[in-house]
Chains A and B, each alone.
Chain A
Amino acid sequence: MGLKQNLHNLKEKYKGTKMAPAFNAIHTFLYLPNETTHNGTHIKAADDLKRTMNTVIMALVPCLIFGMFNAGYQHHLALGAIESANGFFDTLFWSWNNLVIGLWKVLPLVIVSYGVGLLIEFIFAIINKHEVEEGYLVTGMLVPLIVPIDIPLWMLAVAVAFGVVIGKEVFGGTGMNILNPALTIRAFLFFAYPTWMSGDKVWVHGAVERAGTPDAISGETLLGAYAQNTSLAGIDYWDMFWGLIPGSVGETSKFLIIIGALFLIFTKIGSWRIILSTIVGALVMGLIFNGVVDAGWIGESSKFYGLMSVPFWQHLIIGSILFGAVYMATDPVTASQTNKGKWIYGFLIGFISIMIRVFNPAYPEGVFLAILLMNVFAPTIDHYVVQGNVKRRMKRLKTKTA
């Protein structure tokens, strides 16, 4: 008897008891269930919820692995232990030493995220007597990728508990949530523990302990530096593109995010409309700001000058807007459902992201706020798109009958 049969027997044994959903979840996650439907023809489709979720996770894994290497790389680089790597394929970057630091710092984040999140999912499934839903699989993978490397684990645990309960379970669980749970978790961390979520210390492992000592190292993100109007000598645009820069764990490599995006679009899991329109929105806002600077309406003394004068295309590679556009904005539950709505929704996310980024130096990363805001408005956008369609058809009907 294999594990599958054992799980099946357990499931039969606990059928109807409180713990049944927990066993079912493990069983169906690992294997195809034993029983199949007996009568009638059913729609056969391969993309059930678990497979959809797993596709997104597959798209995220490169970012996670890169994030581990980058965590170690940034740490060693800041300490002066290694030279800066030359391009994406340099062995200075893909070194064992870097990976060890990364594994040591990133794996606990992943374990805490999944452990706490799934525990809460299981508890709610047992209380509410429904099957365990798979919604947390992606959230659990996203969370470690969007937090700073040195975030204390207990804070992450508190935030995950908050995000899953308040962001999702109170609305009725997977598929019913208004806000993206991963971003709810990040927003909670951001407002609850700002010293650990922003500033110039948290983005490189070891920077916090060393602050104030002679060994102090800088752990600032490029956005933070831009917002301070500091010049960025020595940062190569290709480094930004490949991702060899400090930042949240998984959001730095634009290259891998683009590959993930292509994978999601190819598998039809992610909406290309949202991804594209978000990028367009961001570029438009960037162009407007560039125009303002070019027209001379804003001087170098202005606190907005640093970020406003960033060439519009650079906005795509210095922050996490690509990561947000590809993995967060496309969440099918919280995004707009109609095609036209998706264009509007994505465009406004990009537009507002850059606006927050420039106008509020305290929140250099406005992407998550912009996505959360548009999550709230997504149903409204859909409503007006649908009403617009209804009106147009009514008109057509009238002209036909008249």
Chain B
Amino acid sequence: MAKDSRLILDPLGDDNPITIQVLGICSALAITAELKASIVMSISVIFVLGVGNVVISLIRNIIPSKIRIIVQLTVVAALVIIVDQVLKAYSYQLSKELGAFIGLIITNCIIMGRFEAFALGNGPWRSFLDGIGNALGYGVILIIVGFFRELLGSGTLLGFKVLGDPIAKTGLYSIGYENNGFMLLAPMALIVVGIIIWVQRSKNPALIEDH
């Protein structure tokens, strides 16, 4: 059991899909301007990767290896469509905001990466844990980035004006604070991810790649 728990815990820390494996960067830059979008994206990926890994693991012995990528894509596409439809049904506004990015979960490198690297060679239960773990690791980074970008860029968290009202000049804004517009641009997301990578590696020098 100790080994199984590592499947969940490793991706959260020393084997994080974004900061260590450097997968899934694109969506981490694209949708993290708001915390809410980051959270929804994380939940969607947790669902898709968790279920997807189980499905692939179950049929791993009957997939002809020549067409396995196509089969994997079909599975992801089916799951993504489920997520998309659910969002459209229950949270139309959010689904409009996230737009193409839910559809683009299909191209999220983490998902194909875990299918190829793990689900094709392991049983359903361990694949499930691996899927959940990696998606959680992805989600943690997304939420950290989203938190800082929304807080510093818009002065809000989940839409609540935690720093005061920039137009009525209340809270922090009354003493001259202003939102950092750079935070809302994609380059700043890359820099925030870079800082996370920097902090993580300086805490644990074993992670530093030598070249």
Contact of B182 among A152, A192, A196 (CB under 8 A): A192
Contact (Cβ within 8 A) B181 A192 = yes
The verdict on A193 contacting B180 (CB below 8 Å), with A166-B191, A170-B198 known, is yes
Contact (Cβ within 8 A) B178 A191 = no
Chain A interface residue count, CB cutoff 8 Å, equals 13
Which A residues are CB-close (under 8 A) to B181?
A: 191-194
Contact (Cβ within 8 A) A191 B176 = no
Within 302-333 of A, Cβ neighbours of B (below 8 Å) are at none
**Does any Cβ of A come within 8 Å of B23's Cβ?**
no
**In whole angstroms, how far apart are the Cα atoms of A170 and B182 in the complex?**
19
Contact (Cβ within 8 A) B185 A193 = no
* Minimal beta-carbon separation of B172 from chain A (angstroms): 11
**Does any Cβ of B come within 8 Å of A155's Cβ?**
yes
Which B residues are CB-close (under 8 A) to A196?
A: 178
Which B residues are CB-close (under 8 A) to A158?
A: 180
Per DSSP, chain B at the interface is: helix
Contact (Cβ within 8 A) B178 A155 = yes
Task: Known pairs A191-B182, A192-B182, A194-B181; list 5 more (Cβ under 8 Å).
Answer: A154-B176, A192-B181, A192-B183, A193-B178, A193-B180
* Minimal beta-carbon separation of B131 from chain A (angstroms): 33
Contact (Cβ within 8 A) B176 A152 = yes
**Does any Cβ of B come within 8 Å of A377's Cβ?**
no
23 contacts between A and B (CB under 8 A): A152-B176, A152-B178, A154-B176, A154-B177, A155-B178, A158-B180, A166-B191, A170-B194, A170-B198, A188-B182, A191-B181, A191-B182, A191-B185, A192-B180, A192-B181, A192-B182, A192-B183, A193-B178, A193-B180, A193-B181, A194-B181, A195-B178, A196-B178
Within 149-208 of A, Cβ neighbours of B (below 8 Å) are at 152, 154-155, 158, 166, 170, 188, 191-196
Which A residues are CB-close (under 8 A) to B178?
A: 152, 155, 193, 195-196
**In whole angstroms, how far apart are the Cα atoms of A196 and B178 in the complex?**
10
* B interface residues (Cβ-Cβ under 8 A, vs A): 176-178, 180-183, 185, 191, 194, 198
* Residue among B180, B191, B198 having the largest count of chain A Cβ atoms under 10 Å: B180
Residue ID in chain A nearest B180 by CB atoms: A192
Residue ID in chain A nearest B187 by CB atoms: A191
Which A residues are CB-close (under 8 A) to B177?
A: 154
Within 282-314 of A, Cβ neighbours of B (below 8 Å) are at none
* A interface residues (Cβ-Cβ under 8 A, vs B): 152, 154-155, 158, 166, 170, 188, 191-196
* Minimal beta-carbon separation of A6 from chain B (angstroms): 36
**In whole angstroms, how far apart are the Cα atoms of A158 and B182 in the complex?**
12
* Minimal beta-carbon separation of B19 from chain A (angstroms): 15
* Minimal beta-carbon separation of B176 from chain A (angstroms): 6
* Minimal beta-carbon separation of B36 from chain A (angstroms): 23
* Minimal beta-carbon separation of A355 from chain B (angstroms): 21
* Minimal beta-carbon separation of B78 from chain A (angstroms): 41
* Minimal beta-carbon separation of B74 from chain A (angstroms): 41
Of all A-B residue pairs in the complex, the 10 with the closest CB atoms, nearest first, are A192-B182, A191-B182, A192-B180, A192-B181, A152-B176, A193-B178, A194-B181, A166-B191, A188-B182, A191-B185
Residue ID in chain B nearest A155 by CB atoms: B178
Residue ID in chain A nearest B181 by CB atoms: A192
Which A residues are CB-close (under 8 A) to B191?
A: 166
* Minimal beta-carbon separation of A173 from chain B (angstroms): 14
Which A residues are CB-close (under 8 A) to B194?
A: 170
Residue ID in chain B nearest A165 by CB atoms: B195
Residue ID in chain A nearest B178 by CB atoms: A193
Residue ID in chain A nearest B195 by CB atoms: A166
* Minimal beta-carbon separation of A2 from chain B (angstroms): 41
**In whole angstroms, how far apart are the Cα atoms of A195 and B180 in the complex?**
11
**In whole angstroms, how far apart are the Cα atoms of A155 and B176 in the complex?**
10
**In whole angstroms, how far apart are the Cα atoms of A194 and B183 in the complex?**
12
Which B residues are CB-close (under 8 A) to A154?
A: 176-177
Residue ID in chain B nearest A192 by CB atoms: B182
**In whole angstroms, how far apart are the Cα atoms of A223 and B178 in the complex?**
26
**In whole angstroms, how far apart are the Cα atoms of A192 and B183 in the complex?**
7
**In whole angstroms, how far apart are the Cα atoms of A143 and B73 in the complex?**
52
**In whole angstroms, how far apart are the Cα atoms of A192 and B198 in the complex?**
22
* Minimal beta-carbon separation of A40 from chain B (angstroms): 35
* Minimal beta-carbon separation of A29 from chain B (angstroms): 29
* Minimal beta-carbon separation of A198 from chain B (angstroms): 12
**In whole angstroms, how far apart are the Cα atoms of A154 and B194 in the complex?**
24
Residue ID in chain B nearest A193 by CB atoms: B178
* Residue among A188, A192, A195 having the largest count of chain B Cβ atoms under 10 Å: A192
Which B residues are CB-close (under 8 A) to A155?
A: 178
**In whole angstroms, how far apart are the Cα atoms of A337 and B178 in the complex?**
40
Which A residues are CB-close (under 8 A) to B180?
A: 158, 192-193
**In whole angstroms, how far apart are the Cα atoms of A192 and B181 in the complex?**
4
Which B residues are CB-close (under 8 A) to A166?
A: 191
* Residue among B176, B178, B191, B194 having the largest count of chain A Cβ atoms under 10 Å: B178
Which A residues are CB-close (under 8 A) to B185?
A: 191
* Residue among B177, B181, B194 having the largest count of chain A Cβ atoms under 10 Å: B181
**In whole angstroms, how far apart are the Cα atoms of A152 and B173 in the complex?**
13
**In whole angstroms, how far apart are the Cα atoms of A196 and B181 in the complex?**
11
Residue ID in chain B nearest A127 by CB atoms: B202
Which B residues are CB-close (under 8 A) to A152?
A: 176, 178
* Residue among B181, B182, B183 having the largest count of chain A Cβ atoms under 10 Å: B182
**In whole angstroms, how far apart are the Cα atoms of A152 and B177 in the complex?**
9
**In whole angstroms, how far apart are the Cα atoms of A103 and B174 in the complex?**
27
Which A residues are CB-close (under 8 A) to B198?
A: 170
